[in-house]
Structure 1
Amino acid sequence: MASQARSYGEGLGRGANSVLGKARLILEAFEMDDMDLSLSELSRRTGVSKASVHRLAQELLEWGMLERSGQEYRLGMRAFELGSRVPRFRILRDAARPFMESLHFASKEAVHLAVRDGREVLYLEKIASGPEAAKPSRIAGRMPLHCTSSGKVLLAYAPASVVEDILSGELTRLTPSSTVAPGLLLEQLKKVRANGYALEQEEVVQGYCSVSVPIHSSGGILLGALGIAAPTFRADVPKLAQALIATSSRLSRSTLLN
């Protein structure tokens, strides 16, 4: 959202006034549901003057980071290409995808792969079909750590400083069922470590729940989270958790990750 785009500028401090800082603001102004943004909208979201946005947009167009659609702009293929080159994420995604396909075939539910990026869950891959394909995670999409099953898994095995950072901020309520009490979240994280999986029920989207498990390397390093999302009425949580734990164990032994 626009407020999020502006907050990036605040985080950059004086760097937001540099050429690179302004270019970053322009690129990060695009949200998940955005296709095309006008020059005026980019200026509004970034707080950068129209003249500067126009000048920098021309350079980003030449680089391929942006593309033109009539009088509007959209993210270019170069942005996708560079993102796909990140070795850590690419290796994890490539290793996990065959296992995710098997899980999806067996469960007929949406399967997703996620990592922690700062205070958020970043989804690297998703395999789904039908209406579930759009609910609620998306590839390259972000969600809060505290109310998603993937996020709870990633928090449960994260350093204490990460958990403290999350608890020190506002825990956003996405639905009436979202976990927003720090004490309750801490209890849930203990349960995750005890059971080996995390569960959220209608905390992100009403009518849906998800189960996630950690993915560790053979050396015990946390690599990400593997999860299944399903309509609450048909979700067999113990069965989904068992399938996920078994799959994660096999994935952890994959030669691609070791």
Structure 2
Amino acid sequence: MASSRTHAAAEEGRGPGRGRKPQAGEAVLDRGFRLLHSFDPDHRVQSLSSLTRRTGMPRSSVLRLARKLVEIGALERLDDGNYVIGLRLLELASLAPRGHGLRAEAMPYMEDLFYVTRQHVLLAVRDGDEAMLVERLSAHAATPVRFRVGGRMPLVATGVGLVLLAHAPVDVQEQMLRDFTPREDEALVQLDSTAELRRALAEVRRGGYAVAQRTGPGGLSTVAAPVFDEGGVVAALSIVVPSTEFTPGAYVTAVRTGARAISRQLGSNG
């Protein structure tokens, strides 16, 4: 339980990070975000020592930043002295039009798709050279997946990523093509060459959706389609199902119908 601010002043600014200096020219705001970015699904609760180690900043600097972040609500300090992300960040994130704003418009149609398929339904946006998941609905009996709301995925690793990349600016596509290397992990999209990626992007633009399958034990398949507003593609909608239950025709129709409905809600005339 968070007692927040009363304990922070008592913490000593000494430890393994003592003597190290912040990177030359690094602004306070940059260091604050570096501290916040040290939290992830495997580090949801951190001690001062953990923050110091993961940020690489001096312990005294981390302590000062942590105190200030607690003061403004970006962090909370627990009774045991550890830190967690504060609710103020959730409050601000709810104002992001490409996050919770988009989610609010899309949710009724995602729920329809969920009730029809009883699988994983994902909504993602492009953020630079990655896809960020802004919403996920999952049935209790659906095959476990690692996708999480707020999580990031390489654009070439999933159906939603492939759709977002296919509609990204040309310079983004060309950079991804230059940097492409085949993935050997359990990504849903398995591509072996730059030429194969280029063909896949062209097929997404031509057909209006992406289909990818990973066979073998625990294999998963996905169908994804673009979501438009009046300015172009703003998101991608997809379902993820076990490959043993995958029937492309029915799922393609369901996902494209859902994506079109969300697009109309967002003001697209397409």
Distance 1:50 1:150, change over 3 A: same
Q: Does 1:32 align with 2:35?
A: no
Q: Would you tell me which structure has more helix in proportion to its own residues?
A: 1
2:95–2:101 contact (8 Å) kept in structure 1: no
Query: How far apart are 1:117 and its partner, in Å?
Result: 0.3
Distance 1:170 1:213, change over 3 A: same
Structure 2 distance, partners of 1:75, 1:210, is 32
SS of 2:142's partner is helix
Comparing 21-30 and 84-93, the one that deviates more: 84-93
Structure 2 distance, partners of 1:119, 1:36, is 28
Q: Does 1:197 align with 2:209?
A: yes
1:123–1:140 contact (8 Å) kept in structure 2: yes
- The 5 Å alignment of 1:150-165 reads 150-165=160-175
Query: How far apart are 1:77 and its partner, in Å?
Result: 0.7
Comparing 191-200 and 132-141, the one that deviates more: 132-141
Distance 1:133 1:121, change over 3 A: farther
1:168: which partner in 2? 178
TM-score, normalization: structure 1?
Answer: 0.86
TM-score, normalization: structure 2?
Answer: 0.82
Q: Which runs of 5+ in 1 are unaligned?
A: 1-12
Structure 2 distance, partners of 1:86, 1:143, is 19
Residue 208 (structure 1) aligned to one of 216, 220, 239: 220
SS of 1:130's partner is coil
Residue 78 (structure 1) aligned to one of 65, 71, 88: 88
Distance 1:153 1:183, change over 3 A: same
2:265: which partner in 1? 254
SS of 1:165's partner is helix
CA root-mean-square deviation: 2.4
1:15–1:21 contact (8 Å) kept in structure 2: no
2:158: which partner in 1? 148
Comparing 157-166 and 125-134, the one that deviates more: 125-134
Q: Does 1:130 align with 2:137?
A: no
Q: Which runs of 5+ in 2 are unaligned?
A: 1-21
Structure 2 distance, partners of 1:15, 1:97, is 45
